[in-house]
A and B are shown apart, each in its own frame.
Chain A
């Protein structure tokens, strides 16, 4: 019970801080909307190509804008040496990781919740035909980004070029999850259910989340303290 309270304390603190300043949220949202807007001038809304690339476009936008949020996760702990105060507290490394990953997940989910309707309007697409499944797939892929981003955020927190290093480290690792999310999102936006042929991508996403969540929860304390 204490463990869950500690996770909630970390997540609550991060969300409260971010919602108060909206530092990363504003930057990330502006970035995402601008990319969607710019691409809307390039792609013909009536073309078949749009249907084929809808998932890819959306997840590239989420991946790039999400990094702005992920970068702030541990960087928020640098002023006033708050990271030391956190590490010195009796909170297990896994609880610290989970709290931060949940906060990152929630913030990226806010960006996605705004971007999906914007995408629908700009590209004249009915993206809600498979809404519950689409939300499930988005949640799984967003958790992939949140876990990997939080873990590598811990690794890069003391680096001077962390804003550059974090995307360089997480994008290659994130490829399986992003590919799965792109394939499934394209299918679901086209209004088709996940068939047997595409179910493999769902399994990839689930396996990715389980593996990286477990690894990060075990390794984060070593990453932070050495």
Chain B
């Protein structure tokens, strides 16, 4: 079953075409590493997939429907650039708010489960603004997973995460994939992304440069896909394609 399809996507900001004639299809259960340099159009594409932005031309279907349909949105989990939690609310209040927005059957139970899973149950009544950066990130992860989504959209999810949050997120993504979820993951940290990915989608200046299965070559040499399909001048620099994860 096709979980994600895009046909002839264009997105303009004024005269600037951020996406140009982008088309692809991925089956359910795929983990797609969305790669590309800064300004390639990754975030624009992810915002369209998440239903946060409209296309100028073309069509996107997620799990067989328009991403703006509430029934489809209820099955999508998102981690974007911001953590998407309210500083003035406690961890518990934040999760309870989103559990109610996603119309979860037993919101309090789900909140307890995710506070425990993200190791925030001891500080459940603490305000998010008083949390450390790592705790806030774990709260954001709990917020994105609280409704057990079967389609995940993650924009630079590993950036500025501490090792504990990276391990938590990787574990959750592996669990979600094992249960048949589809994951779209944009990142500059190629090593982490390619280890999880079953497919790769490379954007270059708004155009689709490569789409296909993640191969063993890419795992051995994470910069391989950039050198073969990316911008010729930039790909000459080894640093451009290498993982930045330390």
Contacts and interface: CB of A to CB of B under 8 A. Distances in A.
B52 interface: yes
A17 B52 contact: no
A80 B83 contact: yes
Interface of B: 50-54, 68, 70-71, 73-74, 76, 78, 80-89, 93, 97-98, 100-103, 127, 143
B70 A80 contact: no
A79 B88 CA distance: 11
Contacts of B78: 84-85, 88
B103 A90 contact: yes
A86 interface: yes
Contacts of B93: 13, 16
Contacts of A173: none
A197 interface: no
Given A80-B86, A86-B101, A91-B70, 19 more contacts: A6-B100, A8-B100, A9-B101, A12-B97, A13-B86, A16-B89, A17-B88, A20-B127, A21-B88, A80-B82, A80-B85, A81-B81, A84-B50, A84-B78, A85-B80, A89-B101, A90-B74, A225-B51, A225-B52
Contacts of B97: 9, 12-13
Nearest to B77: A88
A89 B102 contact: yes
Given A9-B97, A80-B86, A85 B143 contact: yes
A26 to B, nearest CB: 14
A90 B73 contact: yes
B87 A89 contact: no
15 contacts: A8-B100, A13-B97, A17-B88, A81-B83, A84-B52, A85-B78, A85-B85, A87-B51, A88-B50, A89-B101, A89-B102, A91-B101, A92-B70, A225-B52, A225-B54
A103 B117 CA distance: 32
Contacts of A8: 100
Contacts of A2: 103
A82 interface: yes
A226 interface: yes
A79 to B, nearest CB: 6
A203 interface: no
A198 interface: no
A128 to B, nearest CB: 36
Nearest to B100: A9
A8 B103 CA distance: 12
B136 to A, nearest CB: 8
A20 B88 CA distance: 7
